[in-house]
Amino acid sequence: MTQVPNMRWLVAWLAVVCVMVLGCGRIGHGTGRGEEGPLSPEKVAELENPLRAKPPLEAAKDQYRAAVTQMANAITALVPGLTWSMDMDSWNHCGGEYVWTDAKMAYFMAGFSGPIPDDKWPQAVQIVKDGAKQFGATNFGVMKDKPGDHDVYISGAGGIEFKLGTQVASSLTAQSDCRISQTDTPKPSPSA
């Protein structure tokens, strides 16, 4: 009979040890990358200051929205009856080294009412390539290229990326580089 209570204590002790080992570590803070975090205010400022020298997120959103609108209009002009709508006009937090900062990227998605036909596909791709150049996006890649099923991307520095795809319907997405919103003011340093 004394063996059962001892077994309960052993199981309870092992459970406590497991919780302590698995739940109390500081490494990674759930990022899965083994990084220390959150960053010191000095490191955050070091990462954010170059972004503050760029036009703010709001300006990037205006530029990318205008570019996506222009590209989508040009693509629909190629295909009689094709229409489009701005299905997403938003922003996302930046990842990577900016995960602990206020950095954000503009994100847009235009959805089309149908596919871009194969005979019009090269022209549609050229429209997006030409439109992406103004953002420094010139790295071109093909993810899929089969009859009736195409996906391409045009990327640039800092996470800039445009994607065009078609199958049953078509979509055009655009993502800016990391920016700081004009409403996100620098954090005061602890020494101030």
**CA angle, residues 183, 105, 149, in degrees to nearest 5:** 155
| Alpha carbon distances (Å) from 109 to 11, 72, 100, 101, 117 | 53, 10, 26, 25, 20
| Shared domain check, 124 and 31 | no
Domain containing 10 equals 3-37
Q: What is the CATH number of the domain that holds 136?
A: 3.30.2030.20
| Shared domain check, 165 and 101 | yes
Q: What is the pLDDT of residues 105-133, one digit of tens each?
A: 999 999 999 999 999 999 999 999 999 99
CB 69 within 8 A of CB 114: no
Nearest one of 96, 95, 71, 97 to 84, comparing CA atoms:
71
Q: What is the pLDDT of residues 144-188, one digit of tens each?
A: 999 999 999 999 999 999 999 999 999 999 999 999 999 987 766
Helix (H, G, I), strand (E, B) or coil at 150: strand
